[in-house]
Each structure stands twice: as C-alpha cells, then as structure tokens.
Amino acid sequence: MSQFLCHDFKTPRTDTSRRLPGSMRLVPVMFYVVCLATGFFIFKDMRGMKEAEKQRLEAVKEKEEIAGELTKLDEEKLKIENELYRAQSVAKWMEGSRVMQPITVAIARTMPLETNITELSLERSPDLPSQISLLVRMINATVAEVPKIESAVNRLHYRTHSGQQAKQGDQVEYRSMLVWQDQ
Amino acid sequence: MWDDIKSVLTFAAFRPDADDPELAWLKRSEGRKSLLLNISRSQVSWRSFNRRGKLDQAGMHDGDLADVASQRGEEWRSLTEGGWCVVSLNNRFIISLENGLMRADNLNHLLRTNPRSVLGPKYDRGKRYALYHHTDTTASMLLACEDSMVKVTEDVLRGIGLKPGRICCGLFAMMEYSIRSIAESSRGQAPGSYLLIAACEGSIAALAQQDGQWRDLRCRSGLGAEGVETALQIVSPLVAKAPPGTPVFFVSDGQDASFRTTLMEQLERVGARDLTQEDLLWKVIGEH
C-alpha cells in the first residue's frame, strides 16, 4: 500500500523550475558551517586580541617600571662613578704623596762638612702630589753640589725637572721640580 | 533573487514542491497545514491537516462551490499554510472500463500533458483523465472528468487565495485504494471474484470482477444524499449477475450517514462486507 499514489488531473503549471538535487543541500550546510566557523574564529580572535591588549598594557607598565628602575640605577651608577672618580683621585693623590723626609735626609747627607744649608724647602703641588718643588740655599757651596743633590734625589726615585741654580758669592741656590718616578 | 537565496538557506528549496504530482500529499505538505476539499454538486465538505500531518478541523457547507467559497474562503485560508489544498471533485465525472490502454512508467505525466498519446481515439479534449490498471489483465478503469469543471474549480479557488496542489476524484481514489487493499489481502490466492461498491457523498461506483477479470463497472456521479434508490438501481444488476457466494465489498464516505446506512442495509442481504474506515476519503486523498 506504500506505493499507492492518488491520481491528479489539475492543470499542470508551466512556471515551475526543477527542484534542486539533494546533493545541493551541501550549499546551505556549508554556508552555515562557514558562518559558525567564522563566528568561532571571530570570537576566538576577539578574545585573543583582548588578551594581547591586556598583555601589551602589562608589558608597557612593566617597561615603564623597568625604565624607572633603570633611571634610578643610572643615577646610582653616576653617583658611584662620581664617588669612584673622587676615590681614584684621592687614591692617586695618596699614591703620589710620598714622604718628603727621606729627601731632606738624602740632600743633607750629600753636603760636605763645610757647606751649610741655610734653607731647604720642599713644597708639594696640591694638584699633583707627586711633584715637589725643591729649593735649597747653601753657603760655602759650589755648583758641584747640585749634581750630588740630583743623584741623591734620583736614588730616591725622583727625577728633577727644570733645575735652576744660581751662585751669589759663596751662596748657591738650587731650584728644581721633583717628580716621583712610579715603578 | 532574495526569495531564491532564502529558500536555499532555509532548505525550503529542497523540500518537495506542493505542486509535484509525483509525490504523496503528506510528503508535500510535511510540516505545514493543508486543506482537503470535497466538492459535490450542491455541497462542499472539508478537513484540514495540521502541521503534524494529522486530520484536524472538519466542516461542511451546502451550496455551489462559488457560493460556499465566497463565504468560507477566509476560514479555508486559515487552515492552510501557503494556500495549498487538495480537491476532490465529486461531480460531472464518469468511470468506465477500458481495455488495452497504454501502460508506461510516465503514464500519469503523459495523461496530464498529452492524454491523446495514451487514450488515442478515446480522448476527448473536454475531459481530464485518470487511469487505474488491473494488475493481471489488460483492463483499466478510466476516469473522465469535465475539463470545464476542473478549470472553474481552479479559478474559484485561485480567486479566494487557495492553490490546488492536487485535483482528483475522491470516489475514483477510494476505488483504487479498495481494489489494492482487496488484492493485497488475497495475495497468493487464485484470482477471485468480487463485487466492489464505493460511495462518496452521493456518487457511486460498482465494479464486478469475475475469475480475476473486471467484467462490469457502473458509475453515477452527483446523485446526492437522496439518491439511495438510484444507487440501488445501479448496483442491483451487478449483484444479480454475480454468481452466488461472490463476496461483496462496500466502502463509503460522506457527511450523510443515512445514505450509507440505507445502502448497507440493502447490501447486507447479499452478505456485503463494509470495508469503510473512518475518514477514508480524507486519508486516501490526503495521505497518498
């Protein structure tokens, strides 16, 4: 009885087109699948974008914090460098500032017995502590004493610069700049 | 263009066309309400199918189709979705027995589009046709309905916004259905004899089969509920001619129960079996 189909004698329509084949159902199915997939990806991307924006803001904040810390560190570094520079200057000055007593002793020992040292002045340069301005005034001395003084000073690892000697009667004056020769 | 796209996206373009005569009505109207009309000479009765494909509201109105349609048009439209309806014509038709008619797979299509190629000289351009073939012999039942009646019916229904998805003859459909039922119930047995009497809203047809051959067919349309006597006059010769013991089957549908009762009372005397089922007409034209 399933195959029974009631007859039909209505006027046939001429304005009808053929029904679409069943396989064409794939078209709307694919349309909805694509719509759903698009929606899914849009939703996913929106979430991803929001997450990325959040991460970007966090990164910017972190960057600002780090930049702040960096500035602080730079300031500290600058301070330390200043301190270091000062310390180095002090250390250099300290290093350069040799004890002057041996110079006086060495100079005194070079003098013959008849020669008197009337004035011995050792003046350290405040900026360059390794440089000492030497002034020796002697009575009953000859200019031959000057090389003795220079060799005595050389033995103490000083070099003489711009040595000047002057003789007025039996008074000899010797001026020189002593520079410490670092080993 | 937009409607085409919409119909594809809503899958409506893939659903059976309500106009497609190659499909059962229930398949065509799947998921939507539809209306079934039975148009007699002076009466129109109707039933509706709900969206679940179950018979729903019923009604009947006395009068000519044009008059009834003008009064009931709005109600009928409310019982359909898209205005599609099935029409059973119960007037101005004749059913006859023919022999040796063409049988082909696309017979129904040919009958609609080029009936002359099927019927040959029997074709009358003022008629619409339907055929039902005997499964074992060359005999066929030929229904011829007035073409003008079909056209007028289509025009009237179109005028009230209804679209006939199927126009058929309820009595002929009941005959087809009953013959198939009887054939199925006696499958495997030798071709037998029987007398089948079908009545539908005052139209009657009687078919006599002897030894597996259709011998006689008598039909009268548009008798009306008062035509019991005439109906008996049509049936009586066939009953009288039938060999004793021939089973008599009776199927009927209609608003007037007295017609059926009176006719059945007469037929019970010859041992007739009532094959009538509830809403048979509506089920035959609306489900198949």
Question: Is residue A107, in this structure, part of any structural domain at all?
Answer: yes
From residue A38, give the alpha-carbon distance in Å to each of A46, B10, B151.
Answer: 12, 19, 52
Closest residue to A8, CB basis, from B13, B167, B284: B167
From the CA of B176, how many Å to the nearest CA of chain A? 8
Residues A92 and A108 in one domain: no
Task: Give contacts of A24 with chain B, Cβ < 8 Å.
Answer: 8, 13-14
Note whether A1 contacts B181, CB cutoff 8 Å.
yes
Q: How many other C-beta atoms lie within 10 A of the C-beta of residue B75?
A: 14
Does the pLDDT of residue A1 top 60, yes or no? Answer: no
- Name the class of domain B2-91+150-167: alpha beta
> Tell me, what DSSP letter sits at residue A22?
G
Residues A149 and A105 in one domain: yes
Kindly state whether A27 is in contact with chain B, defined as any CB-CB distance less than 8 angstroms: yes
Please give the mean pLDDT across all residues of chain B: 90
Task: Give contacts of A6 with chain B, Cβ < 8 Å.
Answer: 24-25, 166, 168, 173, 176, 284-285, 288
Closest residue to B8, CB basis, from A11, A16, A27: A27
Domain stop point among A96, A115, A131? A96
From residue A86, give the alpha-carbon distance in Å to each of A89, A93, A124.
Answer: 5, 10, 20
Residues A49 and A71 in one domain: yes
Domain stop point among A61, A96, A131? A96
pLDDT of the residue at B228:
82
**Residues B126, A44: Cα–Cα separation, whole Å:** 68
Residues A92 and A110 in one domain: no
Question: Is residue A111, in this structure, part of any structural domain at all?
Answer: yes
Kindly state whether A144 is in contact with chain B, defined as any CB-CB distance less than 8 angstroms: no
Mean pLDDT in residue range A138-153: 90
Residues A144 and A176 in one domain: yes
Residues A139 and A74 in one domain: no
Note whether A19 contacts B173, CB cutoff 8 Å.
no
Global pTM value: 0.68
Note whether B145 contacts A8, CB cutoff 8 Å.
no
Does the pLDDT of residue B170 top 90, yes or no? Answer: yes
Closest residue to A11, CB basis, from B9, B24, B150: B150
From residue B69, give the alpha-carbon distance in Å to each of A66, B66, B74, B75, B90.
Answer: 88, 5, 9, 9, 16
Residues A72 and A110 in one domain: no
**Residues B80, B29: Cα–Cα separation, whole Å:** 10
Closest residue to A9, CB basis, from B132, B168, B176: B168
pLDDT of the residue at B25:
92
Does the pLDDT of residue A35 top 70, yes or no? Answer: yes
Closest residue to B184, CB basis, from A1, A5, A8: A1
Domain boundaries, chain B: 2-91+150-167
Does the pLDDT of residue B277 top 60, yes or no? Answer: yes
Residues A81 and A119 in one domain: no
Question: Is residue A14, in this structure, part of any structural domain at all?
Answer: no
Residues A109 and A172 in one domain: yes
Residues A60 and A106 in one domain: no
Give residue A39's domain range: 28-96
Question: Is residue A56, in this structure, part of any structural domain at all?
Answer: yes
As for how many domains chain A has, the answer is: 2
Task: Give contacts of A36 with chain B, Cβ < 8 Å.
Answer: none
**Residues A56, A62: Cα–Cα separation, whole Å:** 10
Tokens of B18: 């309500």
Burial degree of B167 (CB within 10 A; 0-12, 13-18, 19+) = buried
Domain stop point among A49, A66, A96? A96
pLDDT of the residue at B249:
93
Tell me whether strands B213-220 and B203-210 are parallel, antiparallel or unpaired: antiparallel
Question: Is residue A23, in this structure, part of any structural domain at all?
Answer: no
Nearest residue of chain B to residue A31 (CA atoms): B9
pLDDT of the residue at A26:
92
Note whether A25 contacts B14, CB cutoff 8 Å.
yes
Question: Is residue A17, in this structure, part of any structural domain at all?
Answer: no
From the CA of A42, how many Å to the nearest CA of chain B? 22
Question: Is residue A20, in this structure, part of any structural domain at all?
Answer: no
Question: Is residue A162, in this structure, part of any structural domain at all?
Answer: yes
Residues A105 and A162 in one domain: yes
Nearest residue of chain A to residue B145 (CA atoms): A9
Instruction: For residue range A78-135, list pLDDT tens digits in order.
Output: 999 999 999 988 888 887 778 889 999 999 999 988 889 999 999 998 888 888 999 9
Does the pLDDT of residue B138 top 60, yes or no? Answer: yes
The CATH number of whichever domain residue A170 belongs to comes to 3.30.1360
